[in-house]
Amino acid sequence: MVRIGIDVGGTFTDFMVSEADGGELSYFKTPSTPHDPSEAILTGIRTILETRGIAAGKVAYLGHGTTVATNMIIKGKGVTTGLITTRGFRDVLAIGRQTRPYLYDFHKEKPEPVVERCHRLEVSERVTASGDVLQPLDLEELGRGVESLLTDGVQAIAISFLHSYRAPEHEKEAEHYIRERWPDLYVTRSSAVLPEFREFERTSTAVLNACVGPKMAHYLDHLCADTRELGIGVEPMTIHSNGGLLPVAAAQRFPVATCLSGPAAGVIGAAIVSSLAGMPDIVTFDVGGTSTDVSLVSGGQPRFTRSRDVAGPPVRLPMVDITVIGAGGGSIAHVDASGGLKVGPRSAGAVPGPAAYGKGGDNPTLTDANIVLNRLNPVSLLDGRLPVDRDAACRTVERNLADRLGISLDEAAYGIIRIAAANMARAIRAVTVEQGHDIRKLALFAFGGGGPLHATEVAREAEIRRIIIPREPGTMCARGTLMSDISLDFSRTLLERADDDGWSVTIETLETLVRRGDAWLQTEGIAASARVFNATVNAYYVGQNHEIPVSVDLSPIPSVTAFREAFHHAHRAAYGTCFPNRQVVIVSVAVQAVGTIAKESPALLTGGKSLAEAFKERREVYLGPAGWQALNVYRRDVLAAGEMIIDPAILEEMSSTTVLLSGQTGRIDRYGNIIIDDEF
Amino acid sequence: MMNEVSRPADSVEMEVFSNRLLSITEVMAIHMMKSSFSAQIKERRDFSVGIFDAEGHLLAQGTHIPLHLGSLLGALETTLACVSIADMRDGDSYICNDPYLAGGTHLPDIAIVTPVFLEGGVVAFVANIGHHTDVGGIVPGSIAAGAKSIFEEGIRIPVVRIARDWEVDGNLLAVIAANSRLPDERALDLRVQVTVNRLGSEQTRALFERMGIVNVRAAVRDLLSYTSHRLIRHVAAVPEKRCSFESRLDDDGTGQGRPVRIVVTVWHEAGKLHVDFTGTDRQVVGAMNVSRNALKASVYYCVKTLLDPELMPNSGLFDAVTISAPPGSIVSPDYPAACGARSITCQKVARAVFGAFRGLLPAGQVIASSHDVLPVISLSGRHPGSGAYYVYAEAIGGGAGATAGHDGMDAVQVHVTNSLNMPSEVLEIEFPLLVEEYGLAIDSGGNGHYRGGLGIVRQLRVLADETVLSVRSDSHKFGADGVHGGGTGQVGALVLQRDGAVQEMSSKVDGLVLDAGTTVRFTTPGGGGFGSAKIRPVSALMLDLKNGVLTREQALRDYGDILQAAERAEF
């Protein structure tokens, strides 16, 4: 059974291949093709099949993380979209939550709504909060409206009516009417994407879905046809923001769910790898070119959030709770007019990139600092495929920073690394405290090209004593797509009191949602034995605005008393207090339908070499207060399980580099992870 | 010529130190939000935390509320003035809230100040302020626009010790709690505030220990002088001339009476920025007065926003600004004037300071006036079915001023607040009200090369008899000023429709009883325009018409020439 996991990044498309149960995984990287991401995917798959002599028909799984939808949203490259709303409410999308994005800056504007006002159309219809029809839907008016939108170049339509989370009939009627007359038009109704109250977030999610829908559908059609042509018999799956996999049809219907595709896969993978290594409580630390993603995993479970802004407009769907820090390898350091040294938020990105990469960049970046100090290989990276111009890095740090600050080149470069570490450590501390965790009991799980490079400095700054570095950290997201399962979330707003009556409605709704999830899994061809359902009840105390998720068992569903207990408990865990005498409101319920996929069991690291045999070279490296020191550089990928690294050292592998500082001890565990302990 | 200010001795250490301090304020803020009980602190994040050095300089502050900028300073200054450092012990905490006795801004904001000890001496202070939902006074919530003195606004607390050895003084707590309509919440939240400071002081101590006090002092010096230098650099770039501006409140807070003027003059001299409110009208009878420290916070907000939005809020910023105001004026009231409902006046202070700066800033940094109100509408009564008492209250945003290069933002909160709206679905679920319209206020943006942002219309139908309407707003008389020839934004309006009659109301309504079927239409003001309407690009004008944010009638009035020229060209 051959399984291929893919992650499409801005610069590279990563592949992870598993050829046998319990066997070694192999890695592959090819430059991304942003104009058509499927090109790099095809190139990669073809190369893998050829070089490893795999028959296409043997491929039993193909999963990928993609930024197609995300990039469309960020760059405003979706299709021209129309929105149909209840009369009196077309500006909901423009008003948003009436906040300005920057407290102290009027020159940074609130983002323009995704749908222009002239394409936001009001129709006569009205349903009350209790679901009663106050005014029927005027279909003729709707038809005329759609007609005019189409004349004006609209290519996709979102429908969002007030209170449709409770009474979706008008939305369904409108959807049906439009589909019948314009069968090729991409239509999204808000109650299908997110049947939950709060009209702005629901409308925004529906609009984004429609806006990216046509192009995403086209992209997936294309990818399917191409892989089929290669002779691969399985459909490519897409990782979505909750870390689960979506089959093609579902991804085409709910493309907005893929907006956090790649990063979510990394966290899912990290949770599994760290749990196997016996450390289920971690902070993930994924350092890329322009940003760093931080997420908390506790008890082996990633944490989820219900809302997130994607370049401005909110998407309200369950997703892995990832905090993004605007600091990555490409972050530019500069000296401001008052002599302050700042790192970021400006980034050199992939192009023009760090000065040392010779692609036209001439600003000093975090990566350049690592090259100046010889922490990164000063000759080449990516197994020799990426030549490095250390002189260029030195020149730019010298000229732009050291000279202006009147300090040495080494001090300036090390300053960049320290400032970036302080910035990253601050975000890590905030995430852990927010989730109520004691940072001293967590391990830092470092991946992405730059994670291991900075992990040791950052862990020290954040006072974390243990670090885990998986094998080939730069391809963790691709690896994560090999570890995930099919899943889709079904939810509904209830707003019922947590009493006997309200609880029976809750149970009934949960059962309905399970039936819907079950039917979906059936259409996706998932065997009954592989279907799993996870239920969540979101609730708050009367008078509150933010609901807290409480997991509930489905067989049997607990009593309302037991649920209330569980809610008080969850409230205490989240906020430190609870109010056992206050009324609890059940805001919404959600069921995640999971179709488990057969996966290889994790490979133990066999073979490998001793430290002495993995020795590559001796290199002068700048370690901070201790100055320049000659360190051993080892090839990480050949190190055998059980090897210990006691002295400061550099560990290099294809996709990443680990810097071991003095006082830190590394050992290779039985899965090949580096476990670093710090004695500070 | 300004004096050359020295560069930081160690830019790296300063930046790392600054991040570490901010990390502590973030941890304090998260604990404050998570552990507190009242919705005001927990959900609206109406609180602030800060770290000070032993001399009382603010080093770092965390807040979501611009009106809290530097508002901890008053509490700290008074604590240092009232309590000798020699009498402080590790584990002590002090409490205060009064605008006249303890540098407060209004009574609901209660501050806790805690010294941080290292090796037997005070090396720093940590402090926090939380907005308590009720501290007594004549109305629930303790903010009554009609309050006539501070004694009608709740319990006054001078600087007193509230904890020793981290044990909260139960007697004092009982006295404070007994003065609130929600005594349990007060007692619990005050304990949380002390706990948050304890956590902050432990982390600050650990940081200072780790860095060594000598290095800390060097980093503090660098941080404060760097901030001052950054600000003064911007100030030095503005011409040495005096610029004045006047903004007006509709009335004294009662809904009647004459408009109240706020006059400000701004200039730069000898490396300092002077902000002088001479000419401002006398203090008013109601609670619209702005205490000394609320004035400072409003001015600091303006300076940061206008000159350097990224500037760290610490004493380096404050020390470069000198504020003066005539005693007994609405922006520096004499004891015992009421000051609970200060927010709208603070918005007008911001309008005046933004206006005065127009003469000093390069055109690219200037912005036209925004709606500059904090309009609060509330409807209350009993649910027809259950008979349960309810209160709907919402602060509604409006149009922002246009800038050189952009139309003003539509439908946003400005200046001292940034609170969320209430989703219409939530509103209808919770209250016997029907939302008939929630949209942008058409034609409300002032005309110009770049037009002002649009206000918001909220039209509600009352579904139950004996519904009580209260509105605390302003700018029904004076719209947002345009700049460089830009037009004035439309004023706000409150219109009732009942029994077939339409009735226009003033910006203040106190407890008007409505019957079922009455419609309340509340329109917030638009922002002012930037530059002459004559040079608005035709494409932008046509788009506004196509988008329906501008009616043809209004377009003919504001942009007649270019509209007609464009239409002629089409034929």
B66-117 pLDDT, tens digit each: 888 878 999 999 999 999 999 999 999 999 999 999 999 999 999 999 999 9
Half-sphere exposure (Cβ direction) of A127: Cα atoms closer than 13 Å: 19
Higher pLDDT pick, A325 / A162:
A162
How far CA B480 is from CA of A221, B66, B373, B399, B557, in Å, comes to: 53, 21, 10, 9, 18
**pLDDT over 70 (residue B267):** yes
Q: What is the pLDDT of residue B4?
A: 45
Separation between Cα atoms, residue A188 and residue A217, nearest integer Å: 13
Q: pLDDT exceeding 90 applies to what percent of chain B? A: 81
Which stretch of DSSP H or E encloses residue B196? helix B183-211
Which amino acid, B238? V
Q: Is B15 on the interface with A (CB under 8 A)?
A: yes
Residue B184's beta-bridge partner residues?
none
Dump pLDDT digits (tens) for A99-110: 998 999 988 888
Please say if the pLDDT value at position A22 is more than 50: yes
Disruptive mutation site among B11, B184, B403, B454 for chain A (greatest number of A CBs within 10 Å): B11
pLDDT at A311: 62
* Closest chain A residue to the Cα of B15, Cα to Cα: A419
Contact: A95, B20; criterion CB under 8 Å? no
**What is the average per-residue pLDDT within A398-427?**
97
Q: For chain A, what is the mean pLDDT?
A: 93
pLDDT tens digits for A464-487? 999 999 999 999 999 999 999 999
Span A227-254, mean pLDDT? 95
Mean pLDDT to the nearest integer, B336-358: 96
Neighbours of A501 (CB within 10 A): 11
Whether A223 shows a pLDDT value over 80: the answer reads: yes
Which residues of chain B are within 8 Å of residue A197 when distances are taken between CB atoms?
423, 425-426, 429
Residue A95 to residue B424, Cβ atoms within 8 A: no
Pairing status of strand A126-127 against strand A386-387: unpaired
At B2, the pLDDT band (50, 70, 90 cuts) reads very low
Model confidence pLDDT, tens digit, residues A550-581: 999 998 999 999 999 999 999 888 777 788 98
With beta carbons less than 8 A apart as the criterion, state whether A329 and A365 touch. yes
Q: What is the DSSP letter of A568?
A: H
d(CA B83, CA B96) in angstroms, rounded, equals 13
For chain B, the distance separating the N- and C-terminal CA atoms, rounded to the nearest angstrom, is: 60
Write the DSSP assignment of A118-169 as a string of letters: GGEEEES-EE-TTS-EEE---HHHHHHHHHHHHHTT--EEEEE-TTTTT-TH
Nearest to A129 among B429, B440, B459 (CB): B429
pLDDT of residue A194: 92
Lowest mean pLDDT among A267-276, A372-381, B250-259, B465-474: B250-259
Q: Are A566 and A557 in contact (CB under 8 A)?
A: no
Integer Cα distance of A591 and A519 in angstroms: 13
- Is residue B447 pLDDT above 90, yes or no? yes
- Please compute, for residue A168, the number of CA atoms within 13 A of its CA located in the half-sphere on the CB side: 18
Chain A residues lying within 8 Å of B418, measured CB to CB: 99-100, 103
CA A670 to mean position of chain CA atoms: 28
Tokens of A374: 């010889």
Q: What is the pTM of this model?
A: 0.93
List the single residue in A with minimal CA-CA distance to B547.
A118
Inter-chain residue contact A91 with B546, CB threshold 8 Å: no
Helix (H, G, I), strand (E, B) or coil at A363: coil
- Testing the interface with A: which of B61, B358, B410 to mutate, by most A Cβ within 10 A? B410
**Which pLDDT score, from 0 to 100, does residue A71 have?**
86
**Positive or negative torsion for Cα B147, B152, B154, B157:** positive
SS3 state at A33: coil
Tell which B residues from 535 to 564 touch A, by Cβ distance under 8 Å.
546-549
Question: Is the link from the previous residue into B336 a cis peptide, with omega within 30 of 0?
Answer: yes
For residue B289, give both structure tokens. Answer: 């007065």
- Partners of B94 in beta bridges: B113, B161
What are the backbone angles phi and psi of residue B203, rounded to the nearest 5°?
A: -70, -35
Mean predicted confidence (pLDDT) in A83-92: 98
Name which of B12, B43, B199, B442 to mutate to probe chain A: the one with the most chain A Cβ atoms within 10 A of its Cβ.
B12
Min Cα distance B81 → chain A (Å) is 32
pLDDT at B435 over 80: yes
Question: How far does the CA of residue A628 sit from the closest CA of chain B (Å)?
Answer: 19
- Which among B11, B26, B405 has the least Cβ separation from residue A339? B11
Tens digits of per-residue pLDDT, B486-525?
Answer: 999 999 999 999 988 999 999 999 889 999 999 999 999 9
Residues of B in contact with A495 (CB under 8 A): 429
Q: For residue A260, what pLDDT is reported? A: 78
Give the list of residues 6+ apart from residue A595 with CB closer than 8 angstroms, or none: A485, A486, A487, A521, A524, A526, A530, A531, A532
Q: Which residue, chain included where needed, has tokens 């862990």?
A: A459
A382: left (phi over 0), alpha (psi -120 to 50) or beta: left
Average pLDDT, chain B: 93
Comparison of pLDDT for A48 and A571, the residue scoring more: A48
Among B396, B389, B385, CA closest to B454: B396
Contacts of B569 (CB under 8 A, 6+ apart): none
Whole-Å CA distances, A579 to A565, A585, A649, B38, B452: 11, 13, 53, 12, 46
DSSP letters along A584-602, please? Answer: EEEEEEEEEEEE----PPP
What distance in Å separates the CA atoms of residue A456 and residue B290, rounded to the nearest whole number?
51
Q: Is residue A195 within 8 Å of A21, Cβ to Cβ? A: no
Task: Please give the residue of chain B at the shortest CA–CA distance from A93.
Answer: B439
Task: Kindly indicate the confidence band of residue B3, based on its pLDDT and cuts at 50, 70 and 90.
Answer: very low
In terms of pLDDT, which residue wins out, A221 or A22?
A221
Query: Alpha-carbon dihedral of residues A396, A397, A399, A400, nearest 10 degrees?
Result: 100
Percent of chain A past pLDDT 90, that is, above it, reads 81
Q: Which residues of B touch A107 (CB under 8 A)?
A: 365, 367, 403, 405-406
Q: Do A430 and B23 touch (CB under 8 A)?
A: yes
* Closest C-alpha among B351, B214, B338 to residue B283: B338
Query: pLDDT tens for residues A305-337?
Result: 887 776 678 898 889 999 988 899 999 999 999
Q: Do B418 and A99 touch (CB under 8 A)?
A: yes
d(CA A156, CA A217): 12
Angle in degrees, CA A129, A130, A136, rounded to 5: 80
Mean pLDDT value of segment A230-246: 94
pLDDT category at B6 given cuts 50, 70, 90 is: low
Amino acid B5: pLDDT: 47
**Closest by Cα among B31, B438, B477 to B261:** B477
Write the pLDDT tens digit of every residue in B111-155: 999 999 999 999 999 999 999 989 999 988 898 888 999 999 999
Q: A95 vs B548: CB contact, 8 Å cut-off?
A: no
Q: Using CA atoms, how far apart are residues B298 and B279, in angstroms rounded to an integer? A: 18
Residue B341 has pLDDT above 80, yes or no: yes
Report whether A95 contacts B456 (CB < 8 A).
yes
Q: Which two tokens stand for residue A282?
A: 């971690």
For residue A28, what are its two tokens? 């592959």
How close A573 comes to chain B (CA, Å)? 10
Distance (Å, whole) CA B95 – CA B127:
10
Whether residue B549 contacts residue A95, with contact meaning beta carbons closer than 8 Å, is answered with no
Confidence grade of residue B1 (pLDDT, cut at 50, 70, 90): very low
CA dist B155 to B99, B108, B152, B171, Å?
12, 9, 9, 15
Q: Which of A94, A425, A544 sits opposite B39 (nearest CB)?
A: A544
